[in-house]
Copies of this chain bind each other. A is one copy, B any other.
Amino acid sequence: MNQITLQADPSRDLHKDQNREKILQAAATEIHRCGFQAASIANILANTGLTKGALYHYFPSKQILGLAVVDEVIYERLEQKMFTPLNTADRPVDILLEYLQFRQDTMTDESIKLGCPLNNLTQEMSPLDDNFKAHLNQILQTWQTVIENALLKGQTQQQIRADVDCSAAALFIVSAWEGCWGMAKNRQSVEVFQTCLSQLRNYVLNLGSGGK
């Protein structure tokens, strides 16, 4: 591209793709609310004030729009809120426990009702579409690895018992986390989420003390 132009007016590109971003965010919201298959392109556009011309200019199909939501919205959020903090922490096990506590304390009815965006899409799309499966899988595997590394570091810091299988434990933590979301979403109860998550915290704490 023309580097001079970019440097001369860096805000242009931001402005240029402003509508793309609007569509992306509206799609993320609609997909979160209805699932991917039931998400209506007409609804997405109604929330942006744009029309199909704009959408199909940026995204050649609904599927590609959905994948963009996965990569650019869902992954980005997790990266900022979980992966980076855990990867850069001095005592990542503490951060993990704090994060569980934080989510337990700040969960809202609205979030519970809609459920975890990643989990929703995963459950719906993984068996149906290999592209979705691949993109969602990458996020879940990254997540698992981040937690596994946190536990491994915890082992060197005597926070986690040496006999713990950190890979399996990380897998279970991610699974159970999503399970807690799911249960709370069904019951539509913040309290259920809190109870459930505190049991998960017990599991993590047990990785560090007497238990089997």
Partner-B contacts on A (CB < 8 A): 33-35, 37-38, 113-115, 119-120, 122-124, 126-128, 133, 136-137, 140, 168-169, 171-172, 174-180, 182-183, 185-188, 192, 195-196, 198-200, 202-203, 205-206, 209-212
Candidates B38, B171, B183; contact of A199 at CB < 8 Å: B171
Candidates B136, B172, B198, B209; contact of A186 at CB < 8 Å: B136
CB distance from A160 to the nearest CB of B (A): 14
CB distance from A106 to the nearest CB of B (A): 19
Given that A168-B198, A212-B205 are known contacts, is A183 also in contact with B123, CB under 8 Å in the complex? no
Given that A176-B179, A192-B171 are known contacts, is A185 also in contact with B123, CB under 8 Å in the complex? yes
Q: Which residues of B contact A185 (CB under 8 A)?
A: 122-123, 126-127
A195 touches B212 (CB 8 A): no
Complex Cα gap A169–B182 (Å): 16
CB distance from A68 to the nearest CB of B (A): 19
CB distance from A129 to the nearest CB of B (A): 12
CB distance from A167 to the nearest CB of B (A): 8
A-B contacts, 13 of them at CB < 8 A, read A35-B37, A115-B127, A137-B186, A140-B186, A175-B196, A176-B180, A176-B200, A202-B212, A206-B212, A209-B211, A210-B210, A210-B212, A211-B211
Name which residue of chain B comes closest to A112, CB basis.
B127
Name which residue of chain B comes closest to A202, CB basis.
B212
Q: Which residues of B contact A196 (CB under 8 A)?
A: 168, 171-172, 175
A188 touches B126 (CB 8 A): yes
B126 touches A123 (CB 8 A): no
Q: Which residues of B contact A136 (CB under 8 A)?
A: 186
Name which residue of chain B comes closest to A125, CB basis.
B186
CB distance from A126 to the nearest CB of B (A): 5
Q: Which residues of B contact A126 (CB under 8 A)?
A: 185-186, 188
B127 touches A119 (CB 8 A): no
Candidates B35, B128, B178, B180; contact of A124 at CB < 8 Å: B35
